[in-house]
Each structure stands twice: as structure tokens, then as C-alpha cells.
Amino acid sequence: MGLTSGLAGLASLRGLALAAPVPVFAVAGFGTRTAVQDLRLAREIELVDTPRAAALLLIAGSINPAHAEALARVHDQMPHPRATVLWGGSAVPAPFSPEVTRVPWGEDPTPAAREIFRSLLNGSRATEPPLLPDVDPVEWRGVGPYGQGGSGMTGGTPYGRPMAELAPDRDGLRLDALPLEIGPFYPRLPAGLVVEMTLAGDVLIEVAVPAGLDRPPDEGPRRPIPASPFERALTEPVRIAELELARARAHLRWLSDALINQGLVALGTRALRLAHDIGPGDAPRIRAFTRQLGRTGLFRWSLPHGQGVGAERIAGAGLGPLSRAAGLAEDVRTEDPAYRALGFRPVVMAGNDVPAWWRVRLAETAESLDLAARAGEADTALVGRVESPRGRLEPDDSPTARALPLVPELLTGLEWGDAMTTLTSLDLDLDESVTAASPALAATA
């Protein structure tokens, strides 16, 4: 093979690669969760689970400044050639260069992503250098008998890495335990959620959620744009049809993420597509989809049974589907005369575990669409609190803020897969919690 044909081969390789869907690792900042989720439907973009598979880092909205370093670490894990795109958001997180490409909020980031991808592969745009210095977490050079930073067999910090500690496992043996922190950009968790855990084998023996996760970003909007109907319902009457359609869509969006966690990526995309397609009166479609999910073995072999918290423990907490799956008929809508006039009755089940949470949400999705079809022009009559898809939402209190303290007790003792399933099945939304805690909103209420 001559030089020219070799070059031609390389050129055609590049030509082929240029037409590939852009592999994007997307990070959803405050209030951008649904927009980032919708990128999964974009044909030009391929959302990837790990920065190692990405060419572009898409940062949507404003990031909690406490997570800027973690974000830089995500950036540095991407293979060259790589680039960053900022979508909406007002501030560039600290280690990132201010010259990062920006796409205004409300504009589709796909053309910009495609253009940057093209210039990266062409070589007309230089790949981004690492943002963080390459330093060891602990100074170790020259320490110890071999200069490896350790001492003896299990002492010191060889090569800057602490040795494992022992912890009892469930069989009564004392074995190495692995401390691990996942988040704030773990693809299966809502953006911003951090879970600190200690693993003994595949079992979580210690779980903690650090405080301050629902701190609002320093700059940029404090509320999602546009405001969700649930948020508006706190201060003004809202069409019930609109509210219930939004509830069905929120449940389907949760379902999409949760299905992907169970390995059903195509069906998860289908759920996301449904979230866009459905309208009032589409309840039969949801019921058909529910039946299809039943045939995947989801409830039989994929979701852990009997892993809920006690009903008495969450009584009065207003955790929406979680409460109702524990047999508690807690629903703000029952207090609303407008809903009562429609003959609304909450979906209550008695499973109190992950499959029951799923069943309640699926049943509520269909019920909401029925309600939306029946409600006509009716408005909500109750102002000041509202039943969000996750539970009772009040100006200074959100269901996510109330559910977060349950995470450690729910996850401790579970196998990793079950723990991740339980975590995604909780449907936590830190944005909602930030908005509820935001003083601006509390003042208007």
C-alpha cells in the first residue's frame, strides 16, 4: 500500500467518523434535567454513560459550585480529541476556560455540537488540555523503605493510595472494605446527587448522603425555565388538565431513566417518546405499555422485593407514590375541592417496596391522563401546596428533601444492583428541592 492510498484511507476514515453521531457526556445543571434527557431522542447525538466514550462534554445550565472540581475531573477523563460545550447557564465553572463554546438556552445544541465535533476531527480546533494538575492525592515519593510511600506490608499510602481497611462482611469474615463515592455526575443518578458508600464485596455496608446537595447555584436562574405547572400551582390556580398531563409526563420521564438502569435502553427511549406524545385520554396506551413492561420480567426478576421502609416510618411525610405504595392514602389532591368534584381517588397499594412504587407510578400515569381528559376547563382550587409527581410540594418544603434522609437506611445492606435500582426508583429531584428552598419562591407564596 503506497503512501497516497494510505492517506486516502485515513481521509475516508475521517470522513466516515465525521458522520457518526456525536458521543456526548451530558451533565444536567440546575433546572435542565428534562432538556438533557430529551437529547436521548436526538438523532445526531449519542448520549454515553462514561466520559471515556465521549468526544464532547455538554454542561447544561448552572452547576453547583461545590461540584466544579468533580466536573473538571469528568472533563479530564475524556479521550482526545475533546471539547466542552456550555448550554445555557450564566457562569463558567472555575477550572474551565471562559472561552468555552456557548449555546444560548432555548436553542438546540445539536448543530453546535456537530460543528465542534467536525472541527475537532478536522484538526482545525485543538483538543482541550487537562484542567486539573496531575498530582497524587497524597505525597508519597521518597517515603518508606523502597520510596513507594508505604511501610511494611499494609501500612502507609503506597503510591499515594491508602490501603484498604477491614470490615465485617455478611458471612462473619473480616475482609477489605472499599469506600466509594458516586456522583455528582453518575449517569444513573439525578445530576447533583452524591452518595458516599462503603462496599464489602458487592454489599453496601455504610451509606451516607452529604449535606448541602440542594444548595442553589451562585449565579444563574434559581428556578427552572419555564416554571413547572406544579410550581405555579403553589401560587395560582392552574388547569387540572395541564397539571395532570405534566404529572403523567414526569412519571414517564422517571420511567425512562429507571428502565435504562434495568438494562432496557430501547424501552426506556420508548417511555421518553411517550412522554412527548401522550395527551389526555391516552390512558389505554399507558396501560398497554405497562402490560408490555410486565412481560419483560421486570417485576418478577429485576426489581428487588421487600426493600421498602416501614409505613409507620413515612406516615405523614407526603412522599407521593412512595407513601401510596405503603398503603397510606396521602395525596394533596384529596384536599382539593376541584379534584373531589372530578371524583378523584388516589391510587393506593400495599406492597411498600420497589415494585409497588413502580406499579403505583404506572397506575397514576394512566389515572392522570384519565383525569386530564375528564377535567375539561377546571382549575385547581387549592393554593399553597400541591401534589407534585414526587409528593407534597410546599413553598419551603419538597418531597425530595424529605426523601433524602431515607436513602442511607434504604440502601444499607443491599447488593449494588438492588441499591442502584432502589435509588433510581425513589425518583429524587434535587432541582425541585432547590426551588422549594429558594427564598424568592417562599416570599411570593
Identity of the residue, 171 or 312, whose beta carbon is nearer to other proteins in the bound complex: 171
Name the minimum Å distance from CB 155 to other proteins: 5
Kindly identify the residues of this chain, within the stretch 337-396, that bind other proteins according to CB under 8 A: none
Q: How many residues bind other proteins (CB under 8 A)?
A: 75
Name the minimum Å distance from CB 241 to other proteins: 24
Query: 341 pairs with which residues across the strands?
Result: none
Picking from 136, 126, 185, the residue whose alpha carbon sits closest to that of residue 158 is 136
Q: Which three cell numbers stand for residue 160?
A: 499515594
Instruction: Kindly give, in sequence order, each residue whose CB lies less than 8 Å from that of residue 282, ignoring residues fewer than 6 positions away.
Output: 369
Q: Is 47 in the site for other proteins (CB under 8 A)?
A: no
Kindly identify the residues of this chain, within the stretch 401-430, that bind other proteins according to CB under 8 A: 415-418, 420-421
Could you give the string, one character per residue 13-32, with x where binding to other proteins holds by CB under 8 A and - elsewhere? xx-xx-xxx-x---------
Identity of the residue, 104 or 123, whose beta carbon is nearer to other proteins in the bound complex: 123
The piece of 44-52, 204-212, 380-388, 402-410 that touches other proteins (CB under 8 A) is: 44-52
Residue type, 211: A
Kindly identify the residues of this chain, within the stretch 127-146, that bind other proteins according to CB under 8 A: 144-146
The piece of 166-174, 227-235, 335-343, 381-389 that touches other proteins (CB under 8 A) is: 166-174
Q: Determine if residue 304 is left, alpha or beta; phi over 0 gives left, psi from -120 to 50 gives alpha, anything else beta.
A: beta
Name the minimum Å distance from CB 232 to other proteins: 31
434 vs 213: CA distance, rounded Å: 9
Q: Is 42 in the site for other proteins (CB under 8 A)?
A: no
Kindly identify the residues of this chain, within the stretch 228-287, that bind other proteins according to CB under 8 A: 260-267, 269-270, 273-274
Kindly identify the residues of this chain, within the stretch 77-116, that bind other proteins according to CB under 8 A: 77-81
Q: Of residues 52, 141, 313, 340, which one binds other proteins by CB under 8 A?
A: 52
Q: Of residues 202, 218, 236, 335, which one binds other proteins by CB under 8 A?
A: 202
Identity of the residue, 362 or 441, whose beta carbon is nearer to other proteins in the bound complex: 362
Name the minimum Å distance from CB 36 to other proteins: 16
Name the minimum Å distance from CB 205 to other proteins: 14
Q: Is 38 in the site for other proteins (CB under 8 A)?
A: no
Kindly identify the residues of this chain, within the stretch 285-304, that bind other proteins according to CB under 8 A: 295-298, 301-302, 304
